[in-house]
Amino acid sequence: MFSNIKKGKDKAKSDNATKAAEEASEADFSKPKHYLDDALKQQGLDKVPEKLKQKWEQGDYNYEVRVHPGDPKYTDAKTIYRVSRKAKPVQGKQGSGVEYMDKNGKWWHQSELREFNGDGTLNPLFNQDAAKNTHIPTD
């Protein structure tokens, strides 16, 4: 009879420890390298491969880390990674689009990272420095 009470207390302690660990890990995610390391860990990898795609949910966002060859338009690096997030949908509200993290930990909306609009016209919101800084070298 008392073993059930003890298990309940242990479960509460475990839940609190899990919550604390999640809060601590969220606090640590201020730099893109933390996201890359987490993606590698989720895939059981010790080093960065030439290509990788890892998605997960955390808090109010869906995250994605991609590793792929660098685009000479944005970087000289052979291999780069990008960290993106998208807010989870909220019933009755329009989505907010995708954001990308730069090498300094700042989030940029996708509308600021595209040089041209869908119709081929120049995008007045385009920020070339942000576009370059969201293509982060792996080395």
Per DSSP, 116 falls in state B
pTM equals 0.77
Q: Give per-residue pLDDT as tens, 102-134.
A: 999 999 999 999 999 999 999 999 999 999 999
CA distances from 42 to 45, 50, 52, 111 (A): 8, 16, 11, 29
d(CA 14, CA 74): 45
Q: Does residue 88 contact residue 57 with C-beta atoms inside 8 Å?
A: yes
Q: Which pairing describes strands 79-87 and 98-101: parallel, antiparallel, or unpaired?
A: antiparallel
Q: What is the mean pLDDT of residues 48-70?
A: 97
Q: Give per-residue pLDDT as tens, 83-97.
A: 999 999 888 887 789
Q: Which of 5-14, 27-36, 82-91, 96-105 has the lowest mean pLDDT?
A: 5-14
d(CA 23, CA 31): 16
Q: What is the mean pLDDT of residues 37-44?
A: 97
Please count the other Cβ atoms lying within 10 Å of the Cβ belonging to residue 113: 24
